[in-house]
Structure 1
Amino acid sequence: MSSLFTPLTLGSITIPNRIGMSALTRNRSTGTVPNEIMLKYYVQRAKGGAGLIGLNGPNVLGFGIKFRSKAGGKLPTLSMKLEVKFMLSFGIVSLTLIPVFLRPIIMLAAGVPVYAPSAIAAQGGRFRLLPGEPGYVTPTEIADPTPLIAQFKQAAINAKEAGFDGVEFHGANGYLVHQFLDSTSNHRTDQWGGSPENRARFALETLKELIAVWGPDVSLKLSPAGGYNDMGMPLQDTIDTFGYLLREVDNMGLSYVALVRFDEEDDGPRGTAHDVVETFRPFLTKTALFVNSSVTPAEGEELVKSGKAAGVFMGMNWLTHPDVARRIKEGKELDNAPDFKSFYGRGRC
């Protein structure tokens, strides 16, 4: 696994190896206010050898402020002491947000609607913690997304003041950015919808504002295969849209782009099954590519060794093992079974 354990420069930072920990929605603290349990959780994984750790949470747009006020200088101290780098990954769930369920967590005021590019409800969704197990609500179409771009910029400022090493713009898994990109969730006829260029506008305009704050320490996460949270376009639409976006992104000087691969369990029949690395790697000639979703150590080594990827992100393995990178380096199995019932505090939903 020698290729996985070589240092890598991303933007203005250098990480000690090519094994990152995906930003995972962990409810280790109420309302995403950092606490000692949360600190311990990330310290374990930093000591376990992660080269790059992503953090996110339901109220992530304000998370930087809370981290700064509650955790003080602990995060930058950890970055230097443990050699790991922390990226704040932020996005807005939007289309698949359940106001009643998440209101106590994200402090969404009663009566405030769920916003999305178009007033189209996501299909499916069973929330057994709510009476009657309701599905997704029909969102309210965003009249003008420009104020949201300003909110993302403020989140980037918050993250910088909190001591993070960079930010990852979460445009995958059916989050708001993904909804703008996908022609099945975005039926707009204005400058924010219709053509691939218009549907990519929200992502590109927001990235410009993040770069204004962070310079080269901005990254982007995408899941072109769709499927998750009711996303997914025909293959040619997918290639046209994400191809255009990545061509533009490649000239913006991002630290990396993370591509989430198709996963049968998560993406199912709704997604567009194809090899996202083979399809979209050619669009990135200047920007480092990270690969995410069910990547095995052997696959990661081959991806990096062959030059197809600069590094990999793992998610589930980091949930079940706090020492993933160390295990890989020592040739130990990643064989802990996940306990789904404990993932989100009171069960999977």
Structure 2
Amino acid sequence: MSVLLTPLKLGTTTISNRVGMSALTRNRSSNTVPNDLMLKYYVQRATGGAGLIVSEGILISRQGTEWPAAPGIWDEAQTEGWKKITDAVHEAGSKIYAQVCLVGRTSHPDAPEQIAAGTPVYAPSAISARGGKFRFLPGAPGYVKPTETEDPTILIAQFKEAAINAKAAGFDGVELHGASGYLVHQFLDSTSNQRTDKWGGSSENRTRFALETLRVLVEVFGADVAVKLSPASGYNDVGMPLQDTIDTFGHLLHEADKLGLAYVTLVSLSFPFTFTFAGDGSAPPHDVVSTYSPFLTQTPIFVNSGVTLAEAEELVGSGQAAGVFIGMDWVTHPDLGMRIQAGKQLDNMPDFATLYGAEGGDPAVGYLDYKEALY
């Protein structure tokens, strides 16, 4: 039997295999509320053999909306919608974590939910990310200069409230989105966080927001809390010199390791996980797993992004990782777990035109219509 198909205990939950489904933005909610279309999507993957599903990024408040039709978890209707999904996923034999997130400076003041929130675009510092393209807004504008949040503890409290709602919705745990240049990552990075108070400056101060957020999540979920990090990623215009990167994420992981987390996901691009960021270009490529795993002596490591099944076998078989999270192959193969068990090839190609929903088209297209072999 493949080592990928062996069970694993994460926190208080035992998952049936080591090939998890990573969080994947899909934009199919109904005005931020999870719907029956989403329920079918998640059940397809649970039935298809996902040991652990991590939900798409769930917004913890209206403030900080980058995508149209992204789901939230700040009110009762959303919580009830997620409860239907978690119940169905459990009935299908899988486990599911909620990925909780805010996008910070990568939101736009003209996004409908941002307007409804009635608040500015908040970030650690008033520094705009370069680039961006909000295709769902007239003129497809780019990123704008955000407003520096005066009191980060208000945002931490929102994460805690989201975790309380996630628990009521029946999720098995929560994963903090600390990657991809979104809010938590913006606090970590010295190019996006140039504060001079206790939330900025030194590596220790820049990790404070992530660590304090993890602690409040642990207050709600105990051992069933995880975090996703992308130390080498330059997505959304972040990226520090190499030594600053290692110092910052090393300190974060060293301290997070004391919290008794279920797992840490390290985002890499491809095996052996070396790539540069799109920031100022000063950091050379570095091996994410070998660089940061020494800081984790108690917490299981999952690897995500560009990992093939052969590479996953090597990672788990060699003990470098407890498991892997796979993204696009779960989008295109709802029965991926069954295919792995049966030793069958992956033969569905992604349709990027419908990945996030075709404008004005059937939302099920590119979402529920990938063929299943169900071996």
Q: TM-score range by the shorter chain?
A: over 0.9
Aligned length: 343
Amino acid at match of 1:39: L
Structure 1 equivalent of residue 248 of structure 2 = 241
Q: Pick from 169, 187, 198: which aligns with 1:180?
A: 187
Structure 2 equivalent of residue 310 of structure 1 = 322
Q: Does 1:82 align with 2:92?
A: yes
The Cα offsets for residues 80-137 of structure 1, whole Å up to 9 and x where unpaired, read as x32211100011111111232x32xx46437521000000000011334433332101
Structure 2 equivalent of residue 281 of structure 1 = 293
Residue 333 (structure 1) shift: 2.1
Q: 1:110 to 1:216 in 2, by over 3 A?
A: closer
Structure 1 equivalent of residue 263 of structure 2 = 256
Tell me if structure 2 keeps the 8 A contact 1:173–1:229: yes
Residue 77 (structure 1) shift: 4.9
Which is further off, 143-152 or 55-64?
55-64
Question: 1:344 & 1:252 partners in 2: Cα distance?
Answer: 35
Structure 2 equivalent of residue 158 of structure 1 = 165
Q: Identify unmatched segments of 5+ residues in structure 2.
A: 62-71, 360-375
Q: Which has the higher contact order (CA 8 A, sep 6+)?
A: 1
- 3-state SS of paired residue (2:23): strand
Tell me if structure 2 keeps the 8 A contact 1:262–1:274: no
Residue 344 (structure 1) shift: 1.4
- 3-state SS of paired residue (2:299): coil
Q: Identify unmatched segments of 5+ residues in structure 1.
A: none
Q: Does 1:320 align with 2:327?
A: no
Tell me if structure 1 keeps the 8 A contact 2:133–2:141: yes
Structure 2 equivalent of residue 92 of structure 1 = 102
Structure 1 equivalent of residue 367 of structure 2 = none
Structure 1 equivalent of residue 225 of structure 2 = 218
Q: Structure 1 or 2: larger helix share?
A: 1
Structure 1 equivalent of residue 237 of structure 2 = 230
Tell me if structure 2 keeps the 8 A contact 1:21–1:315: yes
Q: 1:242 to 1:74 in 2, by over 3 A?
A: closer
- 3-state SS of paired residue (1:290): strand
Structure 1 equivalent of residue 121 of structure 2 = 114
Q: Does 1:8 align with 2:15?
A: no
Residue 8 (structure 1) shift: 0.2
Q: 1:42 to 1:267 in 2, by over 3 A?
A: farther
Q: 1:60 to 1:337 in 2, by over 3 A?
A: farther
Amino acid at match of 1:170: H
Question: 1:158 & 1:144 partners in 2: Cα distance?
Answer: 23
Please tell me the root mean square deviation across aligned C-alpha atoms, in Å: 2.1
Question: 1:140 & 1:59 partners in 2: Cα distance?
Answer: 19
The Cα offsets for residues 50-87 of structure 1, whole Å up to 9 and x where unpaired, read as 010011346345427434323655523531x3221110
Residue 346 (structure 1) shift: 3.4
Amino acid at match of 2:324: V
Which is further off, 319-328 or 150-159?
319-328
Question: 1:279 & 1:150 partners in 2: Cα distance?
Answer: 32
